[in-house]
Amino acid sequence: MGGTAYRVTSGTAVEIGPEGVDDDGYTDGQICLDGLAKLDEFALSPEENFFLAVGFKKPHIPFIAPKKYWDLYNRDSIQLEPFQRKALNSPDLAYFHNPEPTGKTDMPDSFTYDDEQLGEDILDPDNQRKLIHGYYACVSYIDAQIGKLLDKLEETGFDDNTIILLFGDHGYHLGDHNQWGKHTLFETALRAPLIISSPSGNTGKYNLPVSFLDAYPTLCELAGLEVPMESIQGRSLASLLKGSDLEEDFVVSQYRSQGHAGYSIRSNQYRLTYWMNGRDDRPSEIEWNEGIVFESELYDYLLDPLETENYAGTMEYASVESDLKSKLINWWAGQNEFFSVGGNNGDTNLTPITVVPYINNKEVYVTRSSDNNTVLIHSEIDIEVVNIIDLQGKFVFSTYNHTTEIPVSRLRNGLYMLQYKLVNGDTGVIKIVR
């Protein structure tokens, strides 16, 4: 019996697994079993290289895990977040007003509890501890699955020559700023696990900000593959594993709230967040100008690690804000250039378009027709299907039946990803610009 078959209740935010239900009683345990089976399969041909991605669902809400992981924690001793108010002088855009637990049958539809120390209109302490307990149990559940995969690597002999990248896609508010979920540009939502293990790497921690955009070029370099930096974003972190530092000391995150695009630049000590006038005020769409900033936030993690006060616009932090703003503007210009290369500017000459990857040493590449209305795919192996995906990952359209001429006249100007599948099963992605 698998997946959610062992779930007892419906629509709740948390659930303790019934007695006797082990890890494989839920989806993540079965995902782990699939990963273990793949490693056993790879072990049959140990001379062959492999890439294995194993993605777990927890600790996403609802917080459901086998009982043994709940038993690791005493709910009564769980500490609540000490600051559950809005930051002083912070804009309303910074907050998500539909907490993920609301709408669950075991949680109140609105938060009305007042605490002189913690905050007003917050979730009551008993339900806070209930949710946090569930989150902790799910984290331990996934930690155990990862441990099984690492044990299998050792059992198969792959542990000495396998690169491991462990990461989570985002953080999660558990009551700080009266937030429950991931939908903000605060530290708790943006900070996530990132662990890299390489046979040729050193052991240690790096305390300056890095980005998940860095994962792909890092894996390429560590695996000895060519890093196609001209067609991707991010930077390789391989040098950190060899004891060197990175040139850039900041990263940028993006999120939209209430119809406004938000960009947050994080340095070692500070975070500057700008909320733009509209949702389409993005570097892929426009060049930077001073008029696009609607609201701003600035936090100092050395003096105020809980983000209790917004220092943007104050004289005390004017030089800090100016420095971070300059870096953000330069970053914006680089993004704008990246997304604009090869764009339709009235020139109908063919523009070289980078191809990633090369399939079976047979180059797959695209050119454009002289009127810029058709993309032509060139491949020595027949094309089975082509998908066009926009920058937000939204599916635009597909073509089938070995089509090599892709009409793009109805696409708005911008960057798209052309995903193709060859008749032999090989796949690839090509960046195209309309």
Return the CATH number at 401.
2.60.40.3080
- Residue 420: pLDDT band with limits 50, 70, 90: confident
Residue 246 lies in a domain: no
* CATH code: domain of residue 270: 3.30.1120.10
Question: On the CB side of 404, how many CA atoms lie within 13 Å of its CA?
Answer: 14
pLDDT score of 382: 82
Same domain, 160 and 285: no
Give the model confidence (pLDDT) of 68-120 as tens digits. Answer: 999 999 999 999 999 999 999 999 999 999 999 998 999 999 999 999 889 99
- Residue 285: pLDDT band with limits 50, 70, 90: confident
Residue 373 lies in a domain: yes
Give the model confidence (pLDDT) of 10-53 as tens digits. Answer: 899 999 999 999 999 999 999 999 999 999 999 999 999 999 99
| More confident of the two residues 178 and 9 | 178
Strand 355-356 and strand 14-16: the pairing is unpaired
Spatial distance between the Cα atoms of 334 and 17, rounded to a whole number of angstroms = 49
pLDDT score of 351: 37
- Report the share of the chain in percent with pLDDT over 70: 90
Same domain, 28 and 164: yes
Residue 224 lies in a domain: no
Residue 220 lies in a domain: no
What's the domain range around 409? 355-433
Same domain, 334 and 366: no
Q: How many CB atoms lie within 10 A of CB 201?
A: 16
- Residue 342: pLDDT band with limits 50, 70, 90: very low
Same domain, 377 and 334: no
pLDDT of 354 over the 70 cut: no
Q: Which residues contact 116 (CB under 8 A, 6 or more apart)?
A: none
Q: Rounded to the nearest 5°, which phi and psi values hold at 92? A: -65, -30
Same domain, 326 and 368: no
∠ CA 167-169-174 to the nearest 5 degrees?
105
Instruction: For residue 188, give both structure tokens.
Output: 């708790």
| More confident of the two residues 226 and 100 | 100
Same domain, 125 and 255: no
Asked whether 308 and 301 are in contact (CB, 8 A), the reply is no
Please name the amino acid found at residue 5. Answer: A
Spatial distance between the Cα atoms of 400 and 396, rounded to a whole number of angstroms = 14
- Residue 363: pLDDT band with limits 50, 70, 90: low
Question: Distances from the Cα of 270 to the Cαs of 50, 86, 187, 325, 331, in angstroms?
Answer: 40, 18, 10, 12, 17
Q: How many CB atoms lie within 10 A of CB 364?
A: 22
- Residue 195: pLDDT band with limits 50, 70, 90: very high
Nearest-CA neighbor of 273 among 324, 212, 214?
324
Same domain, 289 and 171: no
| Total domains in the fold of the chain | 3
Residue 8 lies in a domain: no
Last residue of a domain, one of 199, 216, 233: 199
Same domain, 334 and 361: no
| More confident of the two residues 248 and 307 | 307
Same domain, 264 and 159: no
- Residue 343: pLDDT band with limits 50, 70, 90: very low
Last residue of a domain, one of 310, 340, 370: 340
Residue 85 lies in a domain: yes
Please name the amino acid found at residue 57. Answer: K
Same domain, 269 and 186: no
Peptide bond into 59 cis (omega under 30): yes
pLDDT of 345 over the 60 cut: no
3-state secondary structure of 265: strand
pLDDT of 319 over the 60 cut: yes
Question: On the CB side of 128, how many CA atoms lie within 13 Å of its CA?
Answer: 23
Same domain, 25 and 139: yes
pLDDT score of 207: 83
Residue 171 lies in a domain: yes
Last residue of a domain, one of 288, 309, 340: 340
pLDDT of 201 over the 80 cut: no
pLDDT of 247 over the 70 cut: yes
pLDDT score of 253: 96
Residue 53 lies in a domain: yes
pLDDT of 357 over the 70 cut: no
Same domain, 173 and 74: yes
